[in-house]
Amino acid sequence: MLDEARAGSFSSWLRYYDQPSSSTLYPTMDADSTFFRRQGFRGWGMRADYIIVSGLSCAVEGFRLENRSKGAQLRAMHEYILGTSVTAYF
């Protein structure tokens, strides 16, 4: 578990998503789930957080998602996200 007060603290996660369009009321990830035009999405996400010094965190996260619905009139849509962030805790 990440402890924002302890330098060197580390946490990570790996997730698989298989979400129908009706399950997404408000996205809880940095990837843009509205990209898939309410078709639902599936794919992978991962994140790693590291506390550099007490109260200062850096994170790296990535997602590889695709639309859940495929058919004659729906084209295959993919989204690849790689992001970083630095957060200061007070």
pLDDT digits (tens, 9 = 90+) for 41-89: 889 999 999 999 999 999 999 999 888 877 666 667 888 999 999 999 8
Nearby residues of 28 by Cβ (< 8 Å), 6 or more positions away: none
Nearby residues of 86 by Cβ (< 8 Å), 6 or more positions away: 56, 57, 58, 59
pLDDT value at position 39? 78
Nearest to 44 by CA among 25, 57, 26, 29: 29
Query: What is the pTM assigned to this prediction?
Result: 0.78
pLDDT value at position 26? 66
**Residue written as tokens 């970083």?**
84
pLDDT digits (tens, 9 = 90+) for 9-53: 999 999 998 888 777 666 667 677 667 767 788 899 999 999 999
